[in-house]
Chain A
Amino acid sequence: MPDPAATRGRVGGRADRRAWADQVNAGSKDDAKLSYEGAHAFGPEAVHRWRLGNGLTVLVLTDASAPVTAYYTWFNVGSRHERPGKTGLAHLFEHLMFGETEHLGAGVFDRKLEESGAETNAATWVDWTYYHELLPADRVRLAVKLEAERMQHLVLRDPQVASEKEVVANERRYRVDDDVEGIANEMLYKAAFERHPYGWPTIGWMQDIQGFTPEDCTAFYRTYYAPNNATVVVVGDVRERSLLLSIRDAYGAIPSQPVPAEDILPEPTQLAERRLELKRPAASEKLLIAFKGPALGDADHATLSVLSEVLFGGRAARLYRTLVVDRELALDLRGWVSTFRDPGLFECWATARGSHTAEEIRPVMDEAFARARDEVVGEDELARAKARLELGSLQQLETMAGKAEQIGFFETVLGDPTHAFRRVEAFRRVTAGDLRRVARRYLVDTSRTVLRVIPDTGAKPGETAA
C-alpha cells in the first residue's frame, strides 16, 4: 500500500501533487487525465505512483546522483499468455517492437536513440515483457515519444515478420539448440509442467516460431499492448512534473482496451518423481533436480530462497563445500527459486567434474535435502545466507537501471513496486525453524523432476526436445 510517510518533509507532498494534477487536468479528455495515487517508500527514497485516465500506470523515482535516466515500459504479458502451437509469440513480438511504425521508418527508432546517446533493449519471460531506454537525462522526452508511438502505431507486415522470425530462430539456436544448459532447462520445464504454460519455453518451439504470420502478431498487439496493461517506470535525474506532462501528451490519446481474463489452468499436484535423460555433446555430465516451489508472492518464497542459499550459495554453503571442495565430484552448483507469479520450481543444478557422474552427485544432494528436512540449520549458516542475500539485493540497486528493473518487476508480478525492500526484511525474519518447515513442505521427492545430461555425440544435428 502507498505509504504517506514517504513524502513527509519533502517539497511537493501528496496534497501538492494532487492539487497540481487537478490544475493540469482542467480541460483534458478523460483518457489523458493524470491522477496521483500516492508514494511508496523505496529505502530512503520514494516512488510516486501516477495513473493516466486510459489506465497507464506511471511510477517515478527521482534520483539526481548521475545525469542519466532509465525509462522502462513493462507489459503484463509473457509466454503464459500464449497457447500451444503459438509458443514464442510474446518474445517474437518483443523483437518486432523495434521495427517500423506509422511515423518512423525501419531502423529509425534505434537511430534516434543512438543519436541521443541512449541504449535500448527488451526482455520477455513467462509473466512479463519489458522495454527499456537508458538515456542522458535531458533526452528522456525522446523515450516518451518513441514508446508512445510504438504502443499505438506499430506496422506489422510480412517482410519484417519473416526477417525477424529468422533472427529469433538464430537466437534459439544460440541459446537453446547449441547450448546444453539451455536445452536441459527447456526439457526440465516441459516435464515439470504438464498443464501450466510454464511448461513451454518463452523463446518458443522452433516449429511455432517458423509458423507465425503477420495476422498472429497483429492480434497479439491489439490484445495486449494497451496502456491499461502497461506500467512506465522512470528512475533518474528528471523533473517529475515536466516528465508527467510529456507522458500525458504522448500517451493520453491511446485508448484503453479490454484485456482478456487469463485462462490458465493450475498445474495439478505432482504425485511421482519424473526422471529424464538428455544425451548431448557436452564436456561433462550435469544434474538438474527441480522441486515444485512457491509463487513469488507466497510468504514461503523468501524462506525457501534462504534455504537455497544455505545449500548452494557461495563456497561455504553446505553442498558447495561437500560436492565441489571436499569430494570434488562437481565443478559448479547453483540453486534458484523461480521468481514467477504462479508456483514455479526450486531448481538445483550441478555440473559434474571430469568423469564423475550425476549418479554420484544425486545421493549427496539427497542427503543434504534430507538433512534440511530433519535438522535445524546452525545460526552461523543462517547468518551467512542472510548476509549474502542482503548483498545481492543491494547490488541490484547500484544503478538507475537496476532500480527501475526492480520497481517494474515487482509492480508487474506482485503489484508492489517496493517489494525488493520487503523481501530483504523477510530474509531477516527467517528462522532456522522456518527453514526446516519449508524443507519439509517443498523438498518432496514425489514432486520433483530429475534430469541427467549425459555427454554423447550420437544424436542427430538439430534434434531438440520439442
Chain B
Amino acid sequence: MSADSKPAKGRHAQTARFDLAGGAIALLEPSHAVPLVSIVVALRSGSAADPADKTGLARIAVRMLRRGCDGMTSEQIDARIDLLGAEMAVDTSHSTVAIHAQVIARNLDAFVDLLARLLATPTFDETELAKLKRESVAEIIEARDSDRVVAQKALQRTLFAGHAYGRNSGGTVRSVEAIARPDVVGFYRRSVVKRNLVVGLSGDVAADRAPAVAARIVGGLQEGAAVPDEVGEPAMRPGRRLVVVDKPERTQTQILVGTLGTSAHDEDHAPLVIANAVFGGTFTSRLMREIRSKRGWSYGASARTGVDRHRQSWVMWTFPAAVDCGPCLKLSLELMQTWIADGVTPREVAFIQRYLVRSHAFEVDTAGKRLHQALDVELLGLPADYFASWIERVLAVTPESASAAVRRRIHPGDLLAVVVGTAAQVDGAVRGAMPGLTEASVVPFDAE
C-alpha cells in the first residue's frame, strides 16, 4: 500500500452476527447517533425463484404481509405503523425480497411486536390480494412514464432473454394478474421460514438487547428450509443487437449499451471494477469527459458493473437530445472499442485506486451502510471477505490485470444497445451509429 493511498482512519469492527433458534441469522450494527432503529427482514430467495408465468409473486406475497394479520385489518395495521412513527417498504430483486422498516427508537418494542405478528399470522385475505394485484398492475403501467425505467426493463429482458434475470422482479401485467391466493400462501409457507431469513438491525438499539429483539421478530415462524438457488449462469448471445423502444414525442433519448460483466467470485472482478471506473465510473472518467464535458451531449454519462449471485450486466448509459443520439452512440462505442483494444494506463489505474481507497470511508460511515454490506454478503452469496478485503484487492489490481479483464469480458462484437426515443426520429441515426448489426428491432414502449 503506497503512503498516499491509505484508507481513512477509524475502520469499523465487523458487523455482529448471531445464529437464532430455528436457523435464521441476525446481523447487528448499533449506533446511537440518532434515535432511530432500522430493521431489515430479508429472504434468501428473490424473484428469480418466481414461476415464469407468475413473475412478481415474491413481491406480491411479501407486500401482502402488511395487508391483514390475526386480529388486525390492513387499515388497522397502516394506522398502527404510522402511530409508532415507523415506515415499512418492500424491496425485491432477483436474489432477495426484503422488508425495510425504520422506527423511532422509543417505539421499538411496540413495533417489533407488530412486525412479529405480521410475519407470523398473515391472513392473505382474498379481497386484499385482489386490491394489491390491481395496484401492482397500475404501478407497472405508470412506470412507463419514466423513459429511464422503460430503457432498463428493455435491456434486462433482452440481454437476459430466457434467463431468470431477464424477468422483471415486479412482474408484468399478465403475470401479476395470474397470481392467485394459493400461489401466495405456497410462497409464504416455502419462503417465509426461519432458515430462509436474515434479520438485520442497525441504529439505536443496545448490542446486548439486539439478539433477543431479532429472535422476537421471527419467533412465530416455522423453521422450514432455505430455498435453493436453482438459477443457472447467464450466457451472452453473440452478435451486435439494437432495440429501439418507440415512444412518442421524445425530445431526448435514453441509450443503454450492455453485455455481461463478472461474478463477484471471478478473479477478474476487482480488475474489471477498476477498469470500469476509469471508463465511466467517476465524474472525470473517459466517458463523462468526452460526452458531457467536451461536447455537452448528455447530462450524464456513466458505466457500471452489476453484482449479484450470478454474472450480472455491464452497462453504459447516456441520454442525449434526439438530434445528438446518433453521434453520441457512435462516440460511446468508439470510446468503448479503444478501452477494450488499448486497455487502461498505469496513471489511470493509480488514480482510481486512490479514489476507491480513500472514498471507502463513505462505504462504512453509517451503521445502515455497514449493515447492508453484511446483508449483501449473506444474501448474494458474496465471498465472506468481499467487503472486508476490498481495499487490498483494489490495491492488488495492476494496469495489466485491469486491461485484461476488459478484453476478457467486454467484446465489441457481442453487444446489445437499447435506445428509447421516437423511432421515426432516431431509428436511422442509431442504426448508422452501430455498424455490423446482426439484429435490429423497433418495439413499442408499452410492450411489457
Contacts and interface: CB of A to CB of B under 8 A. Distances in A.
Q: Is chain B a partner of chain A in the same complex?
A: yes
Interface of A: 63, 65-68, 106-107, 110-111, 114-120, 134, 136-139, 162-167, 169-171, 173-174, 177-181, 237, 280-284, 313-317, 321, 324-325, 328, 331-332, 351, 353-354, 380, 383-385, 387-388, 390-391, 394-395, 397-400, 457, 459-462
B278 to A, nearest CB: 11
Nearest to B283: A110
Given A398-B366, A461-B251, A171 B299 contact: yes
A395 B8 CA distance: 26
B248 A281 contact: yes
Contacts, number: 200
A322 to B, nearest CB: 11
Given A166-B296, A283-B141, A395-B36, A173 B251 contact: yes
A114 B298 contact: no
A331 B249 contact: no
Given A68-B8, A461-B251, 10 more contacts: A65-B33, A66-B361, A118-B358, A120-B283, A167-B298, A170-B321, A178-B250, A178-B252, A284-B141, A398-B36
Contact of A68 (B35, B295, B355, B362): B362
Contacts of B411: none
Nearest to B103: A391
Given A170-B299, A390-B85, A316 B247 contact: no
Interface string B249-273: 1111000000000000000000000
Contacts of A66: 10, 361, 364-366
B93 interface: no
B362 A119 contact: yes
A461 B422 contact: yes
B289 interface: yes
B31 interface: yes
A174 B35 CA distance: 38
B78 A314 contact: yes
A24 B142 CA distance: 61
A282 B141 CA distance: 10
Interface string B351-379: 10011111111101110100000000000
B41 interface: no
B282 interface: yes
A394 B422 CA distance: 44
Most B-side CB within 10 Å, residue of A138, A167, A380: A167
Contacts of A178: 147, 250-252
Interface in B399-448: 422, 425
B145 interface: yes
B135 A331 contact: yes
Nearest to A354: B138
Interface residues of B, number: 72
Contacts of B13: none
Interface string B271-283: 0000000000011
A387 B110 CA distance: 14
A387 B82 contact: yes
B208 interface: no
A173 B321 CA distance: 7
Interface in B124-168: 131, 134-135, 138-139, 141-147
A179 B144 CA distance: 11
B79 A380 contact: yes
Contacts of A325: 74-75, 131
Contacts of A459: 249
Given A68-B8, A316-B82, A461 B250 contact: yes
B144 to A, nearest CB: 5
B142 A138 contact: no
A394 B203 CA distance: 12
The 5 closest A-B pairs by CB, nearest first: A117-B358, A166-B296, A387-B85, A117-B359, A67-B10
A162 B295 CA distance: 9
Contacts of A180: 145
B133 to A, nearest CB: 11
13 contacts: A117-B357, A117-B358, A173-B252, A174-B299, A237-B10, A315-B82, A325-B75, A331-B138, A354-B138, A384-B82, A390-B85, A398-B36, A462-B251
Contacts of A181: 145
Contact of A353 (B138, B322, B359, B422): B138
Contacts of A398: 33-34, 36, 366, 368
Contacts of A118: 358-359
A65 B102 contact: no
B112 interface: no
B366 to A, nearest CB: 6
A169 B141 CA distance: 28
B83 interface: yes
A9 to B, nearest CB: 19
Interface in B283-312: 283-284, 289, 292-299
Nearest to A330: B138
B207 interface: no
A52 B361 CA distance: 31
Given A173-B321, A353-B138, A111 B249 contact: no
Contact of B249 (A67, A380, A457): A457
A107 to B, nearest CB: 6
B314 interface: no
A400 B31 CA distance: 14
A284 B294 CA distance: 38
Find the residue from B141, B249, B295, B298 having the highest chain A CB count within 10 A: B249
B87 interface: yes
B299 A163 contact: no
Nearest to A286: B145
Contacts of A384: 79, 82-83
Contacts of B289: 107
Interface in B224-248: 247-248
A167 B248 contact: no
Give the interface centre of B84, B86, B248, B251 by most chain A CB atoms within 10 Å: B251
Contacts of B134: 328, 353
Contact of A117 (B283, B360, B368): B360
B320 interface: yes
A139 B9 CA distance: 12
Contacts of B141: 283-284, 354
Contacts of A116: 354, 358
Contacts of B339: none
B319 interface: yes
B333 interface: no
Contact of B104 (A67, A166, A174, A390): A390
A164 B422 CA distance: 25
A281 B104 contact: no
A169 B252 CA distance: 10
Contact of B297 (A166, A177, A332, A388): A166
Contacts of A119: 359, 362
Given A384-B82, A387-B82, A390-B104, A331 B142 contact: yes
